[in-house]
């Protein structure tokens, strides 16, 4: 058995500079979680390309990075359009260098793909159904497909475009955004849960496929984090918990919602080819214990 060699302090300091001058591409970079990820990667020395549909949401993130002497490039891109993502890749490669780190955070849900009820009621298929009731049988299939498209193809296409570049160079790390909904179906959001379950499966598949190319692929599964949309669902106007928020809290052992900063340790570890060199194909839950608790 070879002798055990412990890392020296100097080696630890060197590891902390792993992200220095690497090009990181963050999709959905205008969102609450991925904006924090982008800012953290820039703080660690990465050159960050911020991708999203709305330039208005990207610019404040870029400004925060630049104000701290970091490098940020903003690109308004629909990640479900392969040609647009390829155009973005060419610009990024020219301006910042080839992608070494890909964070697929683009996604989301649509209200027309969300039920207003948590279980079947005869009311939803009755001739006198109120307009305010939307059960499974009343969901718009087109909006259902929109949710699946943005969360799945919005992950697959960047993996194709930037993953190809990584494979050519023989290195890189991809991080996909799954959800606690990937493994535990939540009421009211069938399309979103279906899509996020697909992200976990795809992450495992792509990890095995790209291993010979030297590219690692993992995912994080955030629990209940507050943003503008979820705050309206989980909290009341006076700042108290809504009925759904109370239900969530009853199943969360840590008894709080996640904050963007809570995600950064897991994200940076999974992206780091030194600290996570032998880690690929996994999904790390960052959920305050939600998936481990039945609430009983």
Task: Please list the active-site residues.
Answer: 192
CA distances from 145 to 21, 105, 157, 185, 233 (A): 38, 18, 16, 18, 23
Q: Which of 186, 197, 193, 51 lies closest to 119, judged by CA?
A: 186
Which residue in the block uniquely carries the two structure tokens 């990181």?
Answer: 24
Beta strands in the chain (DSSP E): 23-27, 47-52, 71-76, 99-104, 172-177, 215-222, 283-286
Contact call for residues 37 and 267 (beta carbons, < 8 A): yes
Q: Which of 70, 62, 12 lies closest to 44, judged by CA?
A: 70
DSSP state at residue 152: I
- Using DSSP's 3-state secondary structure scheme, residue 208 falls into helix
Which residue in the block uniquely carries the two structure tokens 């400004």?
Answer: 63
């Amino acid at each position: 058995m070879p002798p055990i060699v412990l890392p020296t302090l100097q080696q630890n300091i060197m590891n902390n500079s792993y992200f220095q001058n690497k090009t990181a591409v963050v999709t959905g970079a205008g969102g609450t979680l991925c904006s924090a990820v982008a800012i953290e990667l820039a703080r660690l020395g990465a050159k960050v390309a911020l991708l999203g549909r709305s330039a208005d949401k990207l610019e404040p993130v870029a400004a925060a990075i630049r104000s701290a002497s970091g490098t940020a490039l903003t690109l308004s891109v629909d990640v479900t359009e392969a040609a647009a993502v390829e155009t973005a890749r060419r610009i990024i490669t020219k301006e910042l260098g080839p992608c070494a780190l890909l964070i697929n955070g683009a996604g989301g849900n649509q209200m027309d793909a969300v039920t207003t009820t948590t279980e079947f009621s005869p009311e939803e298929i009755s001739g006198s159904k109120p307009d305010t009731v939307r059960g499974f049988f009343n969901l718009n299939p087109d909006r259902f497909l929109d949710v699946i498209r943005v969360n799945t193809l919005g992950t697959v296409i960047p993996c194709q475009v930037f993953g190809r570049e990584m494979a050519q160079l023989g290195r890189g790390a991809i991080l996909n955004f799954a959800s606690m909904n990937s493994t535990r179906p939540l009421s009211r959001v069938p399309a979103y849960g279906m899509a996020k379950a697909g992200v976990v499966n795809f992450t495992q598949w792509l990890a095995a496929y790209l291993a010979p190319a030297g590219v690692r692929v993992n995912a994080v599964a955030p629990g209940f984090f507050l943003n503008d949309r979820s705050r309206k669902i989980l909290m009341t106007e006076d700042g108290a918990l809504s009925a759904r928020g109370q239900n969530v809290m009853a199943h969360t052992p840590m008894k709080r919602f996640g904050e963007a900063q809570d995600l950064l340790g897991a994200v940076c570890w999974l992206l780091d080819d030194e600290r996570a060199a032998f880690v690929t194909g996994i999904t790390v839950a960052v959920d305050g214990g939600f998936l481990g608790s039945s609430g009983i």
